[in-house]
Structure 1
Amino acid sequence: MKYRRFLLFSLAIVQMQLLLSSCGDDDLKKVATISDKKVAITSNRSYGVDVIYSDSAKVKARGFAPILDKVTPTDGAHYQEMPKGVKITFYDKLMHKDGTITSDYAIMKETEQITIFKKNVVVVNVNLTFNTEELIWDENKHSFFSPKGVITKPDGTVINAVNFRAPEDFSTVDFENAFGETYIKGDLTQ
């Protein structure tokens, strides 16, 4: 019995030595360099955020986010994250609802002046409904971009669009490599 305990104890010591010897100097150096790269992030969380965007005292849009995190990393690239999604309502000159954008997640990168909407993104206005998984708004170019999505028009036309682009008001759309289904009015036999 004593011999068996001694054997188990000896095996345990040999295993410990093998484990410790496998940690070379290179691994320890990597740990030191990784720990030197400390990243400090400060975050401010707000709940039930309702923001109104106006220009020349006219309301252009209203945005609502259940949660808004304002994040300030040490590198200075500030951003605002909406982890529970966002809904933006656009208004025309007469303050009538002109369209909406909703998504399950959004991030506004202040330095780059872009906003990225992700997960179940839906754009609705009188001309179309656009469904995608990612939509990017470039404030400098005053345009929206998406790698791909589905456009549905009021007449029932459905277009699968690649490289979707539209101005801020979605008055026109541009895309490549599209395919879909459309409806033509009138008698085609004549």
Structure 2
Amino acid sequence: MILGGCTEVHEHTAAAIHDRDSVSVMTSYGVNTLISDSGVIKYKIVTERWDVNVVKNPSYWLFEKGVFFEQFDEKFHVEAYIQADSAKYYDQKKLWHLRGRVRIRNINGLLFESEELFWDGMRHELYSNVYSKVTTPERSMEGTYFLSDEHMTHYTVSNSKGSFQREDMTGEQNDTTTQKPGAQPDTAQVQPSLRPQLQKHRKNG
């Protein structure tokens, strides 16, 4: 007996993918390049992998294999070294988000250590809301709030404790870092108006 009939064939298809959010438009390996801003070379980047995604809103660069910077002054002299386990750079905002064993060492012997740091290229500030440690030849400070200029010459560590080698700078600190009259200043107190901005950046990051 021969059985015959009509069978309707259904084609199973997936929806077309129009959003390329997860796709990088450029992936580079073994990168060692100079980055400039307004025609001035600002720093050198060394990284194992560099992904660029311009479809995301906001667009960003991703350095998931770690990143190392050499930061330059106006005369192209190295003034600091920066490294992190991973980083994301929001190019439209000029905002870096560094994570995992973030380290900064400048030519003055300052060492910054934390697990997270934001670098705002528009405000020319570095800031963090997690535990951070700043060590200089004269002192060591720890706290859960950090704010500094890009050159790490004026900085604040608050909610902190500090130990000092100089006799006139011994003690604990529970608020913004300060110095006694007559001491050479190398810190700056946080202006109240900066605190809401820091919280806003933290949420956006």
Instruction: Provide TM-score, normalisation by structure 2.
Output: 0.64
| Aligned match of 1:129 | 111
Pick closer, same or farther for the CA change 1:94–1:38 going to 2, 3 Å. closer
Deviation at 1:52, TM superposition (A): 1.4
Offset at residue 110 of structure 1 (A) = 2.2
Tell me the distance in 2 between the aligned counterparts of 1:172 and 1:142. 12
Change (3 A) 1:76 1:95: closer
Equivalent in the alignment of 2:133: 150
- Residue 67 of structure 1 aligns with an amino acid whose one-letter code is R
8 Å contact 2:68–2:82 — kept in the other structure?
yes
Residue 40 (structure 1) aligned to one of 2, 6, 20: 20
Q: Is the 8 A contact 2:141 2:157 kept in 1?
A: no
Secondary structure class of the residue paired with 1:180: strand
Deviation at 1:161, TM superposition (A): 2.1
Distance 1:37 1:164, change over 3 A: farther
User: How far is 1:113 from its partner?
Assistant: 2.6
Aligned to 2:191: none
Tell me the distance in 2 between the aligned counterparts of 1:70 and 1:59.
20
Q: Which aligned pairs between 1:71-150 and structure 2 lie closer than 5 A?
A: 71-73=53-55, 76-125=57-106, 126-147=108-129, 148-150=131-133
* TM-score, normalisation: structure 1: 0.69
Partner of 2:195: none
Specify the SS of the correspondent of 1:107: strand
Give the secondary structure class of the aligned counterpart of 1:77: coil
Query: Percent identity, aligned pairs only?
Result: 24
Alpha-carbon distance in 1 for matches of 2:85, 2:160: 26
Structure with a larger share of its residues in helix: 1
In 1, Cα distance between equivalents of 2:42 and 2:89: 18
* Structure 1 residues 104 and 184, CA gap change in structure 2 (3 angstroms): same
User: Which segment is superposed worse, 39-48 or 166-175?
Assistant: 39-48
CA distance in 2, matches of 1:135, 1:174: 14
Rounded Cα–Cα distance in structure 2 between residues aligned with 1:62 and 1:110: 16
The structure with the largest strand share of the pair is: 1
What SS does the corresponding residue of 2:76 show, helix, strand or coil? coil
* 1:72 counterpart letter in structure 2: V
* Gapped regions of structure 1 (runs ≥ 5): 1-34
8 A Cα contact 1:127 1:171, kept in partner:
no
Number of residue pairs the alignment of both structures matches: 151
* 36 and 58 in structure 1: CA distance in 2 versus 1, 3 angstrom threshold: closer
Uncovered stretches (5+) of structure 2, i.e. residues with no partner: 1-14, 171-205
Q: Distance in 2 between matches of 1:171 and 1:145?
A: 14
